[in-house]
Structure 1
Amino acid sequence: MSTADDPRDPSLERRLSFPRAWIADASDPSSASGMFLSGLVMVTKNRYLAWPNLLLAINSAINRHPLRTKDSANPPFSSLMLAVFALFASYFPMFLISPVSSSAQAPQAVPPPSGQ
Structure 2
Amino acid sequence: MPQDDPRDASLAVKFSPPQTWTAESVDGLATSGMFLAGIIMVTRNRILAWPSLILGVNSWINQHPLRTKEGGTPPVGNLALAFFALIASYLPLFLKATAEPAGATETQTPLSFST
What's the TM-score once normalised by structure 1's chain length?
Answer: 0.63
Aligned to 2:111: 111
Answer whether contact 2:22 2:68 (CA < 8 A) is retained: no
Could you tell me whether the CA contact under 8 Å between 1:41 and 1:86 is conserved in 2?
Answer: yes
Aligned to 1:45: 44
TM-score of the superposed pair, with normalisation by structure 2: 0.64
- Provide the alpha-carbon RMSD of the alignment: 3.2
How far 1:20 moved relative to its partner?
3.5
Counterparts of 2:22 and 2:84, CA distance in 1:
35
Q: Which runs of 5+ in 1 are unaligned?
A: 1-16, 99-103
> Can you give the 5+ residue segments of structure 2 that lack an aligned partner in the other structure?
1-15, 98-102
Cα 1:75/1:31, change in 2 over 3 Å: farther
Residue 51 to residue 29, structure 1, CA distance change in 2 (3 Å): same
1:75-109 deviation digits (Å, cap 9, x = unpaired): 211000111111111111111134xxxxx97x957
Q: CA deviation at 1:71?
A: 5.6
Counterpart of 2:92 in structure 1 is 93
**Correspondence for 2:61:** 62
Figure out how many residues of one structure are paired with residues of the other and give that number. 96
